[in-house]
């Protein structure tokens, strides 16, 4: 069976319901909101690549997806987001306390699933999981801290998105490789692959917000600009801008800005275009992608074994052939 | 060194500070607010009783206290409590998002500490920890559910306080015993001991709210009554009350009750006295205490080995000789 089909079936078969219902129903609801299940797929593909089976690593795949959904649940609460994947978020459908407690329980359930693994590497797997979890939380905190800071550098921004987004992809891959007893140096390489694919993926998300195709994207462009989000694009623009351009950009990126939405987006895009920000961002994406690609290439396995992960990475970045 | 002194030193030496400060400072703050450190003491005493050393189980002691403080942090947020041990709670001193995320990180830090243990029983220890954690969360959820229910039975209430309060004491003892490789049947007995001591302890807390000595207690009595908290006392009263008395009690235990605080407390106490609720509650405490005591007695060790835990339990319930 293909990994995607295996993962789909796995989550259809995994119930999160228990007593008290008021604790577990929001968990079941969250786990049912269908996402791409990207992280379980990465984990399973990494394991299979090194000779493991999807069945053997299934508990780890459930654990990593449960953790990921826990982060979405608590992030949505902190961001006061009303919708997730088109459905009401838990704190809206129930209430904030339910969101706090059900999220906490999901974190413990992730651990419970992990402990069902049969592996000689369990200690390393658990350590990787914990380091991943704490990394994601540190990333989320840096993201919140950056909202009120006006001196965020590009290296700081890249480190923030690495923690917030990339380490979970890298951690999923590493756990899959550990489950399949991959050699230590290949585990390092697959982790590196995940890290840089994750950074490239987030940078592309930043880029698409400004230059994406609304039809393909399924959402309007310019939302980051309207939210004054200091993504790679405005940070790069501030770096390259003349004093006058920087002053103009800073004025637009404040809550006091009185421009209409369309006007605000248009002015920022105009500035980006003057400074060639699209190309700079694409260069950084390409740079991150090639570091990731090199890391994957250097893994001691024949190319055909690595094809699935390579395709998955290309798919993530819209580079399918 | 005595356990209490060892625990005090252990927490003085354990730092929770790291980067980003905005994530870790609230954790360090929470862990510094001095509590009794009861759970680490139970854990270490259980280990020592079965031949372990405080040093060897120290990571587990830190883990259990970190978990306990995580629950207080998130509970205070859910309860909107302004103070904890006389100090501002994290969501007040910082903000609710900080309380959510720092709490989440504490849960992961607890696991990280656990993984520092050197033990052949690590898998059982981790399983016990997870079962304990999820039990505490289920207990918290039942407690919240009960607020809007009017048909809570006494067995349901006892099960709720068992989950919310007792399983963490029982879990701490069991983890200590597991660390010291205690025999399986003794591990069951010490868990049973913790469970029933925990229930007795919570019931005594309920009783002291109505009949405690304000001077000894350090807080005013009657707070549960003013909060319309359905503890053992009103539940027992409703069970024994005549239809007229039950009706009167239900009327007082609503938010619409217009009595002054002193009047409300006086009326409820009067009803409790008529129904002999103080004696019924004390009987249930004695009952739980003697189940706990029997469980401790049945552990296959000489009495002098069990003296420390016996004293700790008596101390908890104000039964020092």
CA distance linking residue A133 with residue A107, whole number of Å: 9
Do A174 and A226 lie in one domain? The reply is no
Do B189 and B173 lie in one domain? The reply is no
For the packed helices B54-79 and B122-147, what is the interaxial angle rounded to 10 degrees? 20
Do B155 and B278 lie in one domain? The reply is no
Q: Do B138 and A109 touch (CB under 8 A)?
A: no
Mean pLDDT throughout A233-249? 96
Mean pLDDT throughout B130-145? 97
Do A146 and A286 lie in one domain? The reply is no
Last residue of a domain, one of B128, B162, B182: B182
Is the residue at A319 inside a domain? no
Which of B304-309's residues contact partners 24+ apart within 8 Å by CB, and which partners? B305/B49, B306/B49, B308/B3, B308/B45, B308/B48, B308/B49, B309/B42, B309/B45, B309/B46, B309/B49, B309/B173, B309/B193
Mean pLDDT throughout A98-109? 98
Per-residue pLDDT, A257: 78
pLDDT at B240 over 70: yes
Last residue of a domain, one of B129, B148, B182: B182
Per-residue pLDDT, B221: 86
pLDDT at A302 over 70: yes
Calculate what percentage of chain A has a pLDDT beyond 70: 98
More confident of the two residues B321 and A297 = A297
Do B275 and B256 lie in one domain? The reply is yes
For A79, nearest residue in chain B (alpha carbons): B97
> Picking from B90-94, B124-128, B246-250, which range would have the lowest pLDDT averaged per residue?
B246-250
Is the residue at B251 inside a domain? yes
Last residue of a domain, one of A153, A182, A211: A182
pLDDT at B228 over 60: yes
Do A44 and A148 lie in one domain? The reply is yes
Mean pLDDT throughout B253-271? 90
Mean pLDDT throughout A174-202? 98
pLDDT at A217 over 70: no
Name the DSSP letter for residue B82.
S
pLDDT at B320 over 70: no
The CA-atom distances, in angstroms, between B144 and each of A20, A125, A256, B165 are 11, 35, 41, 14
Q: Do A141 and B115 touch (CB under 8 A)?
A: no
| Structural domains of chain B, count | 2
Q: Chain B residues with CB inside 8 Å of A144's CB? A: 22, 97, 101
Looking at every residue in chain B, the average pLDDT score rounds to: 95
Q: Given CB atoms, is A112 within the 8 Å cutoff of chain B?
A: yes
Looking at every residue in chain A, the average pLDDT score rounds to: 95
Is the residue at A46 inside a domain? yes
Q: Which one of B130, B139, B160 makes the best mutation probe of the A interface by having the most chain A beta carbons within 10 Å?
A: B130
Mean pLDDT throughout A223-233? 93
Distance from CA of B297 to the nearest CA of A (A): 33
Query: Among candidates B117, B98, B109, which has minimal Cα distance to B43?
Result: B117
Q: Given CB atoms, is B115 within the 8 Å cutoff of chain A?
A: yes
Q: Chain B residues with CB inside 8 Å of A100's CB? A: 74, 77-78, 100
Contacts of B108 (CB under 8 A, 6+ apart): A107, A130, A133, A134, A137
| pLDDT digits 0-9 by tens, A16-30 | 999 999 999 999 999
Calculate what percentage of chain B has a pLDDT beyond 90: 87
- Name the phi and psi angles at B88, rounded to 5: -60, 140
pLDDT bin (cut points 50, 70, 90) of residue B311 is very high
Per-residue pLDDT, A218: 66
Mean pLDDT throughout B259-264? 92
pTM value is 0.96
Per-residue pLDDT, A320: 61
CA distance linking residue B201 with residue B285, whole number of Å: 8
Shortest CB distance from B141 goes to which of A101, A107, A111? A101
Do A66 and A163 lie in one domain? The reply is yes
Do B268 and B282 lie in one domain? The reply is yes
Per-residue pLDDT, B35: 84
Is the residue at A314 inside a domain? no
Tokens, residue B264: 């409300």
Calculate what percentage of chain B has a pLDDT beyond 70: 98
Per-residue pLDDT, B80: 95
Could you tell me where the DSSP H helices lie in B212-242? Answer: 214-217, 223-226, 232-240
Do B9 and B24 lie in one domain? The reply is yes
> Picking from A218-222, B54-58, B217-221, B300-304, which range would have the lowest pLDDT averaged per residue?
B217-221
Q: Which one of B16, B17, B18, B20 makes the best mutation probe of the A interface by having the most chain A beta carbons within 10 Å?
A: B20
Is the residue at B316 inside a domain? no
Instruction: Report ipTM for this prediction.
Output: 0.95
Query: Among candidates A115, A130, A203, A142, which has minimal Cα distance to A167?
Result: A130
> Picking from A182-196, B195-209, B218-232, which range would have the lowest pLDDT averaged per residue?
B218-232
Per-residue pLDDT, B162: 98
Mean pLDDT throughout A47-55? 98
Do B33 and B146 lie in one domain? The reply is yes
pLDDT at B217 over 70: no
Contacts of A121 (CB under 8 A, 6+ apart): A178, A179, A181
CA distance linking residue B45 with residue B3, whole number of Å: 7
Neighbours of B22 (CB within 10 A): 16
Tokens, residue A170: 């890298």
Per-residue pLDDT, A253: 86
Mean pLDDT throughout B116-138? 98
Tokens, residue B171: 């879990």
Name the DSSP letter for residue A317.
T
What range does the domain containing B31 cover?
Answer: 1-182
| pLDDT digits 0-9 by tens, B144-193 | 999 889 899 999 999 999 999 999 999 999 999 999 999 999 999 999 99
Is the residue at B234 inside a domain? yes
Q: Do B115 and A126 touch (CB under 8 A)?
A: yes
pLDDT at B321 over 60: no
Q: Chain B residues with CB inside 8 Å of A90's CB? A: none
Do A98 and A214 lie in one domain? The reply is no
Is the residue at B313 inside a domain? no
The CA-atom distances, in angstroms, between B65 and each of A65, A295, B107 are 28, 41, 10
For B78, nearest residue in chain A (alpha carbons): A97
Q: Chain B residues with CB inside 8 Å of A127's CB? A: 115
Q: Do A134 and B97 touch (CB under 8 A)?
A: no
Per-residue pLDDT, A184: 98
**CATH at residue B265:** 1.10.600.10
Q: Do B107 and A107 touch (CB under 8 A)?
A: yes
| pLDDT digits 0-9 by tens, A200-211 | 999 999 999 999
Do A230 and A297 lie in one domain? The reply is yes
> Picking from A85-89, A280-284, A304-308, B32-36, which range would have the lowest pLDDT averaged per residue?
B32-36
Query: Among candidates B215, B243, B233, B76, which has minimal Cα distance to B154?
Result: B233
Q: Given CB atoms, is B94 within the 8 Å cutoff of chain A?
A: no
Neighbours of B130 (CB within 10 A): 21
CB B57 within 8 A of CB B74: no
pLDDT at A81 over 70: yes
Tokens, residue B320: 């020092």
| pLDDT digits 0-9 by tens, B68-113 | 999 999 999 999 999 998 999 999 999 999 999 999 999 999 999 9
Residues 135-174 of B with CB under 8 A from A: 137-138, 140-142, 144-145
Is the residue at B319 inside a domain? no
């Amino acid at each position: 069976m293909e990994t995607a089909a295996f993962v789909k079936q796995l989550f259809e078969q995994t119930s999160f319901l228990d007593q008290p219902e008021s604790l577990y129903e929001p968990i079941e609801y969250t786990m049912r909101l269908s996402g791409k299940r990207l992280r379980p797929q990465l984990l399973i593909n990494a394991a299979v690549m090194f000779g493991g089976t999807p069945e053997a690593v299934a508990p780890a795949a459930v654990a990593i997806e449960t953790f990921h959904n826990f982060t979405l649940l608590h992030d949505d609460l902190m961001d006061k987001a009303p919708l997730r994947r088109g459905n009401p978020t838990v704190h809206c459908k129930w209430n904030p306390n339910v969101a706090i407690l059900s999220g906490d329980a999901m974190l413990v359930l992730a651990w419970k699933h992990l402990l069902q693994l049969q592996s000689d590497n369990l200690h390393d797997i658990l350590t990787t999981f914990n380091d991943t979890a704490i990394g994601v939380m540190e990333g989320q905190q840096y993201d919140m801290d950056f909202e009120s800071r006006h001196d965020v550098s590009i290296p700081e921004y890249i480190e923030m998105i690495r923690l917030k987004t990339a380490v979970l992809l890298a951690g999923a891959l590493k756990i899959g490789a550990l489950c399949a007893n991959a050699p230590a140096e290949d585990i390092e390489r697959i982790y590196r692959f995940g890290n840089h694919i994750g950074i490239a993926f987030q940078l592309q998300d930043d880029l698409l917000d400004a230059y994406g195709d609304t039809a393909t994207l399924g959402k309007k462009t310019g939302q980051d600009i309207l939210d004054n989000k200091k993504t790679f694009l405005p940070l790069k623009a501030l770096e390259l801008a003349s004093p006058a351009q920087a002053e103009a950009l800073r004025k637009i990126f404040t809550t006091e800005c009185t421009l209409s939405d369309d006007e605000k987006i248009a002015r920022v895009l105009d500035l980006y275009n003057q400074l060639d920000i699209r190309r700079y961002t694409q260069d950084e994406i390409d740079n991150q992608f090639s570091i990731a690609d090199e890391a994957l290439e250097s893994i001691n396995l024949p190319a055909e074994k690595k094809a699935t992960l390579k395709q998955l990475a290309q798919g993530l970045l819209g580079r399918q052939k």
